[in-house]
Amino acid sequence: MKIVDLLRKESINLNGEVHSKKETIDQMVDLMAAGGNIADVDAYREGVYKREEEGTTGIGEGIAIPHAKTDAVKAPGLAAMAVKEGVDYDSLDGEPVHLIFLIAAPNTEDNVHLEVLSRLSMLLMDDGFRENLMSAGTKEEFLGYIDAAEKEKFPEESKEQKENDKEDKKGYRILAVTACPTGIAHTYMAAESLENKAQEMGYTIKVETNGSGGDKNVLTADEIAGCDCIIIAADKDVKMARFDGKPVIITKVANGISKAEELITEAMSGKAPIYHSKGTDEASVSQDGEGLGRKIYKSLMNGVSHMLPFVIGGGILIALSFLVDSANAGAADFGSGTPLALFFHTVGNTAFGMMFPILAGYIAMAIADRPALMPGIVGGLLAKAGTSVSLPEDQWVSSGFFGALIAGFVAGCLMVLIKKLLDKLPKSLEGTKPVLLYPFLGILAMGAIMIFLVNPPVGAFNTWLNDMLAGMGESSKILLGAVLGGMMSIDFGGPFNKAAYVFGTAAIASGQIDIMAAVMIGGMTPPIGIALATTFFKKRFTKSEKQTTVTNYIMGLSFITEGAIPFAASDPLRIIPPCVAGSAVAGALSMAFGCGSRAPHGGIFVIGIVENAPMFLLALAIGAGVTMAGIILLKKPLPVEKQ
């Protein structure tokens, strides 16, 4: 769709005189209305302002391209204005705007505004083209410069090509998949960042999210076939075989949040590597040259992401059983002394007990695909049972969480070895591998490894660790709480955060509920501290940052630490240290006050089953206050124009 076909003379002003952004938008809307494209001028004007609130359309270099897609538009259209003296438009580069193009798009599936935005952006990158438009003396001359530039920029266009382009644009130029271990915050923040940046850059994009509630916005075969490039921003495995033969960029989910522009630029450069599938559906999203540590972390997080629903659901049900049975506190059957408490306790324990086999199974699967799931689950069950052929049953020692971790990695590596050994068998036996040989050899080997090699030493280590934690003095526990709380804020959902959280959930299984409370309060503190800072010290934050205040309160109270990520990414030296300090203080105070949580998640929504809840809330308030104070001390007030 050519620019000159959308831009009417009635919608062009070569001598604009405006003095503010609002005045500029109002005059541009009036110009658009003069072209006859708008059914409801006020509704369209509201749409333009609403889009502007999401982020400025002043893209820099003296250019602004406001736009709105709304039912108020009868047909696609453009309006243009040249402002010789320039106008302050809150541009990304802070410079005045001299050339404004307004886009009107009907609310259809065609995304005409993105088409036009992309085309305009490409043309306006040429300094000479912009100078020609600013110097045009008549509207005919203005349109002539645009027509000439389009013919030069798109020489291959013909009537047939236009029809093909129209069909192609029904798809997406860029596809993406975002996935984080927990599937809660990072997954959707990366998706939003990629979508917003692609729209800003004028490219169509569709993002599939592999979240905790399942895969959403799933990419279709036709979309994959028609796209230019695919971005995989994930910290766990995603289905990769479908992308065979397509240009694919593989990166961390954090880069999808903080480096969206770089990823999109690389995707559209034509230099992305071609992905070649190994034939498995759940292929690893490894990058060339990826370090061993990164591969281990991703395998671990694959196990953790599948384990968490069992831990959270089961843990909360167990905690509810104690809440319901609170009248029986001190009784031998506390937690199962009433029918309802017994119900919660039975179901919760069943679900919670699945954490070890699920963790081990999915770690193994991340290493060696589906055949490794079975020996991994068996290894996790043996780690939980603590089976030993050399001791009577009443003396079995469980290797617990650490045993399940070892089982997962051992099962994965073991299945890689078994698959290599069985590759030498005749092809006629290929069908027996998944149904006979893999299960038999995998279970046999894992059983021997867990019973004779893993359970005895790791079980002894667990016994020592539990005894040490139980015997810790008050000062030692306070230090542990400070360390775990601080770890929750070092990387806001990254390896340190996950390590502390996994340690906390494992501690619940051994009865150390004070550790889980310190971990949870450490993760709740950063978003709340930041929200307090944006509430009471507004002059230190931009308009877009202040708009996240309510969201951060909600995320912090819900124990979703990732609400702090946008602030940490934009100003790490002034945000991360106060967050770590506040979380460490909150974790230490939680331990000092004797708080405990049998629920591994939920934040304020499980406060009714948190031990010593009033002091837990006090510790949270103090920790958030420390974070706020640190941020205020480090961040200076912004200039008025940036607030």
Active site residue ranges: 67, 180
How far apart, in whole angstroms, are the C-alpha atoms of residue 104 and residue 120? 14
Token reading at 454: 């893993």
Which residue in 508, 495, 237 sits closest to 369, CA to CA?
237
Count of other CB atoms within 10 angstroms of residue 624? 27
Cβ(595)–Cβ(521) below 8 Å: yes
The rounded distance, in Å, linking the Cα atoms of 356 and 387 is 14
Rounded Cα gap, residues 313 and 317, in angstroms: 6
Assess contact for 197 and 189: CB atoms under 8 A: no
The pair of three-digit structure tokens given for residue 478, joined into one six-digit string: 């306070």
Contact (CB, 8 A) for 35 and 77: yes
Cα–Cα distance, 434 to 413 (Å, whole number): 17
The helix-helix angle for 549-557 and 513-536 (nearest 10°) equals: 170
CA 169 to chain centre: 28
Token pair listed for 159: 């009537």
Q: How far is it, in rounded angstroms, from Cα 580 to Cα 365?
A: 34
Strands 63-64 and 58-60: antiparallel
List Cα–Cα distances, 342 to 74, 110, 325, 330, 349, in angstroms. Answer: 63, 57, 9, 16, 10
Phi, psi (rounded to 5 degrees) for 111: 50, 50
Distance CA 63, CA 103 (A): 13
Q: How many CA atoms lie within 13 A of 229 on its CB side?
A: 20
CA-to-CA distance for 372 and 305, rounded, in angstroms? 17
**Residue 215: CA count within 13 A, CB half-sphere:** 10
- φ/ψ region of 335 (left if φ > 0, alpha if ψ in -120 to 50, else beta) reads left
